[in-house]
């Protein structure tokens, strides 16, 4: 039965949170001084119960009955209300925000680990909460007192929901090309006109009001990204003591391969010329401000993808242990009882690969959450700046690796199930459909590769890459001290050197004006950088596991060491091949005329 799936292994989450990422060390920061292991564990217990008791039982049914548009209103599956209400009542929406705005001042590291259970159980419910939280955070960070009073608290309490309204049909991810207009009005507001597409949670029947965070161009603003501003555009606007419709219309619901319970809609603003918007922050600063929400969403997508990969792995593991088929290669009695398919080497290969991908990705997402805590709460400016630079560097990887490899890992869960895997009676095909979206929404893999190589690794004249290299070196040093095989450590050290050397070569090409030579293989660069980042995370896990052998639960720690061995021995050698493609500017597609196809 599906409810037998734990979604995530509680031992693994505790291991990552406390043994690898040292969550309790964050309590030394003033912002988290009131917390400790007790409150962290209570948060985890609450989210585990919610995920397993409310979210997961509704997963299949909500997917089977996607949202419908009726008379301009989108009707959701009833379970969405139960999920959202449970999160609001538990304080999930404002968990990481300060006490001053009604939050619990919980570290992002702990909140992310706890939220992973919700993502694995039902990404649609978790996604609506993330959008609402981050819309409120934008208003908290950049809105004036009036906007904060009217919308921020209502969003954090779940009385309203929020969206990010960026994409337009003609512009896609090129946000500098948006044409939605904002015309100044005598009352100090703006009249918004235009359309947006792929707006998750843009219309529904859970709350009366929906607060859209909209990018638009003020009349007369310069072209490109410098002319884009951010606006708060509610579905219902205040008019005296009442709230009235704000000329925001849902023009259609998109039918998706996955994440089906969370509606993705087309929105039309100002068809009647009466859509009011309130400027958030400064004119022309819309994109830099919106990146706060976009980057949070990218890390959220990565965590969701890692969590889904974990859920699919546990589903495959449970099935493989219970499914008898054939006999082991060394079996002599052809009439003897069938063995579970875990007796077959290729099934063990698939399971270990799933584990290596899923738990490596989970650790990397938690590292990003920890850096977010440090970037906001370290007491010194330099420390916060370094943490922010590392977080910015890792964000494209955190978004992309769990999405791309999480899809692969989930496809392996389908494969382990054999013929049952591609039927809707079993869950892996549903996770696989959900996973595919993760490489597209919040910035495609191609965009993330350009961002990583074109901006992030060269940030600060290479300072970001130097900081990352130091962190990896610390991990290998700790692993050696814990007794991890020196060959593994040496291989990771060599891979980091390869990355640094390649990055300098490609950066030099960019400085010389050869942008195609620098960025033509940015997808391969992102892949190789991701492989090394996951090797770094497995090195950290190997060190923690090796140090704990003999203290009980040795099977758990030996499995960790096998997964680390698998990644370091089978994936890390790919770095040199990928680096050669980048270095040689291999031109099979760079020199392709598509008319030939």
Q: State pLDDT tens for residues 164-223.
A: 999 998 766 667 788 999 999 999 999 999 999 999 999 999 999 999 999 999 999 998
Helix (H, G, I), strand (E, B) or coil at 289: helix
Give the mean model confidence (pLDDT) for residues 540-561: 96
Give residue-wise pLDDT tens across range 369-395: 999 999 999 999 999 999 999 999 999
Q: What is the rounded average pLDDT for all residues in the chain? A: 95
DSSP state of 76: P
Among 203, 404, 442, 571, the active-site one is 442
User: Which residues, 6 or more positions from 378, have their beta carbon under 8 angstroms from its beta carbon?
Assistant: 29, 384, 387
Task: Kindly tell me if the per-residue pLDDT of 431 is higher than 50.
Answer: yes
**pLDDT for 2:** 41
Helix and strand element counts for the chain (H, E): 19, 12
Give residue-wise pLDDT tens across range 44-86: 999 999 999 999 999 999 999 999 998 889 999 999 999 999 9
Instruction: Give the number of other CB atoms < 10 A from CB of residue 472.
Output: 21
Gap between the Cα atoms of 281 and 284, Å rounded: 9
**Are 276 and 243 in contact, with CB atoms under 8 Å apart?**
no
Give the mean model confidence (pLDDT) for residues 232-250: 96
Give residue-wise pLDDT tens across range 306-346: 999 999 999 999 999 998 786 666 666 666 687 888 999 99
Write down how long the chain is: 597
DSSP state of 103: -
**pLDDT for 325:** 80
Give the mean model confidence (pLDDT) for residues 549-553: 91
Gap between the Cα atoms of 518 and 457, Å rounded: 12
Helix (H, G, I), strand (E, B) or coil at 294: helix
Taking alpha carbons only, the member of 516, 518, 541, 304 closest to residue 401 is 304
Gap between the Cα atoms of 514 and 512, Å rounded: 6
Q: Report if pTM > 0.75.
A: yes
H runs (alpha helix) in 51-122: 59-64, 78-89, 108-121
With the CA atoms of 209, 210, 213 and 217 taken in that order, what torsion angle do they form, in degrees rounded to the nearest 10? -70
442 catalytic, yes or no? yes
Provide the token pair at 502.
């390649």
């Amino acid at each position: 039965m599906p409810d037998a799936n734990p979604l995530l292994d509680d031992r693994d989450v505790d291991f990552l949170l406390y043994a690898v990422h040292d969550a309790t060390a964050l309590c030394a920061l003033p912002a988290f001084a009131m917390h400790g292991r007790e409150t962290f564990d209570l948060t985890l217990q609450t989210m585990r119960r919610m995920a397993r008791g409310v979210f997961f039982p509704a997963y299949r049914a909500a997917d089977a009955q996607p949202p419908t548009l009726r008379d301009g209103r989108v009707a959701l599956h009833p379970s969405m209300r139960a999920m959202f209400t449970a999160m609001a009542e538990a304080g999930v929406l404002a968990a990481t925000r300060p006490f001053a705005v009604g939050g619990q001042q919980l570290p992002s590291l702990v909140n992310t680990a706890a939220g992973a259970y919700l993502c694995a159980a039902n990404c649609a419910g978790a996604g609506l909460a993330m959008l609402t939280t981050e819309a409120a955070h934008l208003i908290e960070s950049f809105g004036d007192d009036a906007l904060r009073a009217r919308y921020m608290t209502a969003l954090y309490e779940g009385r309203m929901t929020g969206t990010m309204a960026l994409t337009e049909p003609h512009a896609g991810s090129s946000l500098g090309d948006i044409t939605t207009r904002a015309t100044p009005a005598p009352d100090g507001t703006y009249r918004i006109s235009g359309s947006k597409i792929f707006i998750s949670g843009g219309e529904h029947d859970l709350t009366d009001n929906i607060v859209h965070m909209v990018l638009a161009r003020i009349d007369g603003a310069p072209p490109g990204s410098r002319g884009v501003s951010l606006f708060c555009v509610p579905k219902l606007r205040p008019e005296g003591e009442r709230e009235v419709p704000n000329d925001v219309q849902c023009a259609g619901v998109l039918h998706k391969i996955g994440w089906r319970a969370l509606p993705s809609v087309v929105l039309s603003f100002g068809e009647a010329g009466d859509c009011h918007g309130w400027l958030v922050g400064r004119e022309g600063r819309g994109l830099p401000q919106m990146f706060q929400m976009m980057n949070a969403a990218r890390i959220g997508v990565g965590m969701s993808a890692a969590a889904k990969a974990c859920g699919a792995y546990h589903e495959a593991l449970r099935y493989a242990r219970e499914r008898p088929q054939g006999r082991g290669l060394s079996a002599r009695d052809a009439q003897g009882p069938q063995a579970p398919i875990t007796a077959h080497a290729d099934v063990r290969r698939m399971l270990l690969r799933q584990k290596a991908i899923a738990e490596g990705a989970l650790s990397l997402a938690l590292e990003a959450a920890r850096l977010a805590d440090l970037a906001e709460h370290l007491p010194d400016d330099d420390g916060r700046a370094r943490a922010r630079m590392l977080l910015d560097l890792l964000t494209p990887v955190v978004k992309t690796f769990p999405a791309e490899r999480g899809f692969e890992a989930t496809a392996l869960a389908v494969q382990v199930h054999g013929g049952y895997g591609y039927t809707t009676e079993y869950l892996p095909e549903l996770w696989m459909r959900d996973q595919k979206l993760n490489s597209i929404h919040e910035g495609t893999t191609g965009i993330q590769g350009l961002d990583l190589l074109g901006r992030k690794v060269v940030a600060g004249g290479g300072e970001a890459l130097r900081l990352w290299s130091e962190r990896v070196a610390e991990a290998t040093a700790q692993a050696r001290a814990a007794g991890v095989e020196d060959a593994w450590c040496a291989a990771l050290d060599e891979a980091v050197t390869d990355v640094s050397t390649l990055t300098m070569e490609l950066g030099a090409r960019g400085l010389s004006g050869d942008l195609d030579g620098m960025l033509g293989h940015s997808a391969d660069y992102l892949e190789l950088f991701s492989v090394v980042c996951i090797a770094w995370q497995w090195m950290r896990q190997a060190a923690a596991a090796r140090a704990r052998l003999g203290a009980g639960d040795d099977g758990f720690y030996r499995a960790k060491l096998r997964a680390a061995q698998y990644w370091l021995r089978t994936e890390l050698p790919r770095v040199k091949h990928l680096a050669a493609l980048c270095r040689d500017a291999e031109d099979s597609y760079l020199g392709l005329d598509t008319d030939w196809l």
